[in-house]
Structure 1
Amino acid sequence: MEINIFIDLLFKKSKERNLENFEIYYTSTKSSSIKVFNQEVDSYSDSNSQGISFRVLDNGKMGYSYTESIAEKEIDFLINEALENAAVIENNDIEEIFKGGGEYTKVEVYNPALEDVSIGAKISLLMETEKKTKNMDTRIKRVNYCVFGSGSSTRIIRNSNGLNLSEKGNSAYIYISVVAEDGGVTKSGSSYKVSNNFESFDSDYISREAVEDALSKLNPISIESKEYKVIIKNEAFASMLGAFTGIFSSDNIQKGISKLKGKLGEHIASKKVTIIDDPHMEKGMASSSFDAEGVPTRYKEVVKDGVLTTYLYNLKTAKKDGIESTGNASKGGYKGTLGISPSNFYMKKGDTHYRDLIKDLDNGILVTSLAGLHSGLNSISGDFSLAAEGFLISNGEISSALNQITVSGNFFDLLIEIEKIGDDLKFGLSPVGSQSVLIKKLNISAD
């Protein structure tokens, strides 16, 4: 059944059952992935999925149900299941269906031309990228991974209060991983790009970046374990910031599992630090005009000049604090329950060029990547101990690659210790981004 017809029938049936507060949430996704190896297609996958969830407020309790089947017979199931679930809920949280209000900022997140790119064109891009990478330097021994992925999604929210919203988006990425060898030492390097414009995927740039990344790590040296002045490069700091986004969630604040509880209006970071949540960013990976409850999204500086200005809210947590939602309700697809997450979340651009950060550091360590973010940090205390890759900086120049090191410290202290911020904003394969940052001191342990 066509989805809009199904939603109309579900809406009509709900009204006939005298339901006054309900919401219909629909998502569909399409994704594909192509991998090449040694100039042959190694794997290809193509998948489609869709589903619809139903929420109903009954006697002050919110019931949920969902189904993957868009068939008329599912309508009674969705209504009955949601009502039954509402009847057994024991918590006393006050929940609501969004009543509307506010202005929606139009966000362009869909490029129809991306859907017209042929499989042949994607394979040609991968073949060309792999070939250029292998031929760029004799020390490149193999390409481990060369993949192109793309996907599109549609989201519809309709509720009993007259809300009727829809949004469509798409994106693609290319990723390559290579291995370099010299003098019996092997190191890996990688490169990637995310965009919804196929013409922006440049095989020359992707190949060169991956090769340079791998070659730069050859001939590493060991250093003394001690406290160093450190630059954490943009991608590495973005990955750390991403691991700590939960500290800004009002749900975690209200549960007492964030150290930022009670810190609104206080300095929690260096005055150089401004952290932005921007759901309207052009070509942002998490750009959207409305959140998972249909609330209009809005730009906000969560930390401004080092001062914590707001937490991130959905309707339920905002109700508890007596304020308006910030438009940060999230759902992990139609099956997911409501949570809170940022959109495009990043550190505001600083006034120092990346090369000048290196010069200003003079002597210290450049950290280029971090590993073990899921197991090596505690998002509540802020403590972390992470395997890292990096370089020694001597007299304002990158001098030598380092054998694996471990960086340790506390994230909340680290925010205070930021002395300078670069102008090199970069997002990883997620909607969390950062500039490179110069840190006053950080513990470095050498293996």
Structure 2
Amino acid sequence: MDNEFFDLAKHALDYGLNLGAEEIEIYAVKGFSRTVQLEKTAISRFSETSGSGIGVRIFKNKAVGMSSTTIFTKENIEKTVKNAFSLSKISQPDPKFQSLPSDDRPIPDIDDLYDEAVENLSVEEFTDLMLQSVEEGKIEKDVIIGGNYGLGKLERIILNSQGIERWCKSTSISGYLSVKIEKEEDIGVAYYYDSSNTLKQFDYIKIGKEAGIRAKKMLGAKKIETKTLPIFLDPESTYGTLSSIVSQGVNAFNVINKTSFFIDKIGDKIATEKLTIIDDPFYPGGINSAKFDDEGVVPKEKTVLVKDGILQTYVTDSYTAPLVGLENTGHASRGTFSSRPVPSVYALQIKEGETSKDSLLEELKEGIFLLGSSIHPSGDSPTISSQINQGFYVKDGEIVHPVKNAVIGGNIYELLNSITYFSKETENRKGHIAPWMLIENLKVSGGK
């Protein structure tokens, strides 16, 4: 731990209390991020930015004042705290606010959240990883490859006047490549990505190879007629589809703001009885795993969100928990050090079924197979209108051709209750676990 940085955060807390703050929270982060961008198969830009800063929240008479800084001097920290305190005295009270959280639970040990090899990776070594991935994507002559690679390190300190005192550090490394193959008037475009906390688990070779293979598969794409068809999804598509729906629906902040898909639905059937989803914050090496949330609260080991199609709970933070009548599940998340926390899921794990994925495809008389192309709602609307980016027309259990200019429509309630099968096989991507999934019937609109 950076003791000097911790001492600054502690000084900010004590200074705010001495000013007269009723409650105060210090959220401090220190780290960096590096990004390499690729355009037209050539590196176009490298950037390195600091992700460091200190955010202050002060409460007085249920009113909040917020201020932040990226200048780590004692004088500037005190100025930032004063600004937050001044704002708390003139802001409108929020009668819904109860209290900042307290938590005396021990911090769990989670393997593979931090990797010294990622933090110390040189620019040359980092760039070389991307170039190796690009070479794997050159599955045909004259391919065009774009994308980006990123890595970062973050040290996080959370202190508050309720006694919370947390520290941790983590690393991340990720890559995304898009491959475009042109053959006369035919074009195949596809993408693939991977992310990890550790270098040893980062599959940079697969990123390029899989993007290239998928792009080649997309050659010969054809338009299809508009009709209602079964949709068969690979694990990547399954996860993207269900996480986009469920994470929005179980978010207690959305519930209190009347934008959730599942308002007043705890204990009710929201999906097929085949659907069970848990949220696991402590998965070793999980890309969203965390020892505590962004308010310093240690979450439960696992939270069952949906069991046999029945909604079990919402995910909450200290603000939303009392408003929905639930305990704080420890799901507070912030976009930046200066932002207000809201609930967010960690890593969803979707229960497998009993049928093999091959059987599901073989028994499909006619339908669409989605490969890394999720079906998602339109913002906070339950309406679905998702373009098929990487999809294939299936006839009599055989993949016939890729499709183009096609859109899947409907709504999320129809989708959740039309799931007929999950495969017994699953794919685990750093704690994000999903099987293949078959949805009985959704409307597919073909292009003109």
> TM-score scaled to structure 1, two decimals?
0.90
Question: Given residue 441 of structure 2, which amino acid in structure 1 is its aligned partner?
Answer: K
CA contact (8 A) 2:136 2:212 kept: no
| CA shift digits 1:232-254 (9 cap, x unpaired) | 33323333334332221122222
Question: Given residue 308 of structure 2, which amino acid in structure 1 is its aligned partner?
Answer: D
Cα deviation for residue 335 of structure 1 reads 0.9
Q: Which residue in 1 is equivalent to 2:171?
A: 170
Q: Which residue in 1 is equivalent to 2:393?
A: 392
Q: Which residue in 2 is equivalent to 1:84?
A: 86
- Is 1:383 paired with 2:383? yes
Q: Which residue in 1 is equivalent to 2:438?
A: 438
CA contact (8 A) 2:241 2:374 kept: no
- Is 1:342 paired with 2:331? no
Q: Which residue in 2 is equivalent to 1:110?
A: 114
Work out which of the residue numbers 21, 26, 50 in structure 1 matches 2:23: 21
Q: Which deviates more, 398-407 or 104-113?
A: 104-113
Question: Given residue 439 of structure 2, which amino acid in structure 1 is its aligned partner?
Answer: I
CA contact (8 A) 1:349 1:425 kept: no
Distance 1:315 1:12, change over 3 A: closer
- Is 1:277 paired with 2:310? no
- Is 1:56 paired with 2:54? no
| CA shift digits 1:299-326 (9 cap, x unpaired) | 1110011110001111122122343101
Question: Given residue 322 of structure 2, which amino acid in structure 1 is its aligned partner?
Answer: K
Distance 1:353 1:412, change over 3 A: same
Secondary structure, counterpart of 2:71 in structure 1: coil
Question: Given residue 174 of structure 2, which amino acid in structure 1 is its aligned partner?
Answer: Y
| CA shift digits 1:252-296 (9 cap, x unpaired) | 222322241221111111111112211111221211111121111
Q: Which deviates more, 194-203 or 257-266?
A: 194-203
CA contact (8 A) 1:228 1:443 kept: yes
Question: Given residue 50 of structure 2, which amino acid in structure 1 is its aligned partner?
Answer: N
Secondary structure, counterpart of 1:436 in structure 2: strand
Provide the rounded CA distance (Å) in 2 between the counterparts of 1:8 and 1:203.
40
| CA shift digits 1:117-152 (9 cap, x unpaired) | 232222322233323432x334xx223215331111
CA contact (8 A) 1:172 1:196 kept: yes
Cα deviation for residue 230 of structure 1 reads 1.3
Cα deviation for residue 332 of structure 1 reads 1.4
Secondary structure, counterpart of 1:79 in structure 2: helix
Question: Given residue 80 of structure 2, which amino acid in structure 1 is its aligned partner?
Answer: L
Provide the rounded CA distance (Å) in 1 between the counterparts of 2:205 and 2:52.
37
CA contact (8 A) 2:375 2:408 kept: no
Question: Given residue 115 of structure 2, which amino acid in structure 1 is its aligned partner?
Answer: N
CA contact (8 A) 1:36 1:127 kept: no
Aligned runs of 1:257-272 on 2, under 5 Å? Answer: 257-272=259-274
Work out which of the residue numbers 124, 131, 137 in structure 1 matches 2:135: 131
Provide the rounded CA distance (Å) in 2 between the counterparts of 1:33 and 1:114.
13
| CA shift digits 1:75-119 (9 cap, x unpaired) | 332332222222222431123121223343222311112223232
Instruction: Please give the root-mean-square deviation of Cα atoms over the aligned residues, in Å.
Output: 2.5
Provide the rounded CA distance (Å) in 2 between the counterparts of 1:371 and 1:132.
25
Q: Which residue in 2 is equivalent to 1:302?
A: 305
- How many residues align structurally? 439
CA contact (8 A) 1:114 1:197 kept: yes
Q: Which residue in 1 is equivalent to 2:14?
A: 12
Distance 1:266 1:118, change over 3 A: same
> Unaligned stretches of 5+ in structure 1?
none
Provide the rounded CA distance (Å) in 2 between the counterparts of 1:119 and 1:148.
11
Cα deviation for residue 63 of structure 1 reads 2.6
CA contact (8 A) 1:238 1:427 kept: no
Provide the rounded CA distance (Å) in 2 between the counterparts of 1:75 and 1:191.
43
CA contact (8 A) 1:23 1:160 kept: yes
Work out which of the residue numbers 352, 358, 361 in structure 1 matches 2:355: 352
Provide the rounded CA distance (Å) in 1 between the counterparts of 2:204 and 2:55.
41
Distance 1:203 1:49, change over 3 A: closer
CA contact (8 A) 1:36 1:147 kept: yes
Provide the rounded CA distance (Å) in 1 between the counterparts of 2:405 and 2:433.
24
Provide the rounded CA distance (Å) in 1 between the counterparts of 2:368 and 2:210.
21
Secondary structure, counterpart of 1:264 in structure 2: coil
Question: Given residue 65 of structure 1, which amino acid in structure 2 is its aligned partner?
Answer: S
Q: Which deviates more, 20-29 or 10-19?
A: 10-19
Provide the rounded CA distance (Å) in 1 between the counterparts of 2:306 and 2:375.
26
Provide the rounded CA distance (Å) in 2 between the counterparts of 1:367 and 1:401.
10
Distance 1:371 1:262, change over 3 A: closer
Distance 1:170 1:224, change over 3 A: same
Question: Given residue 442 of structure 1, which amino acid in structure 2 is its aligned partner?
Answer: L
CA contact (8 A) 1:142 1:179 kept: yes
| CA shift digits 1:216-241 (9 cap, x unpaired) | 11112332211111113332333333
- The percentage of aligned residue pairs carrying the same residue is 25
Q: Which deviates more, 161-170 or 201-210?
A: 201-210
Q: Which deviates more, 409-418 or 176-185?
A: 176-185
Provide the rounded CA distance (Å) in 1 between the counterparts of 2:259 and 2:370.
29
> Unaligned stretches of 5+ in structure 2?
none
Provide the rounded CA distance (Å) in 1 between the counterparts of 2:40 and 2:62.
60
Q: Which residue in 2 is equivalent to 1:402?
A: 403
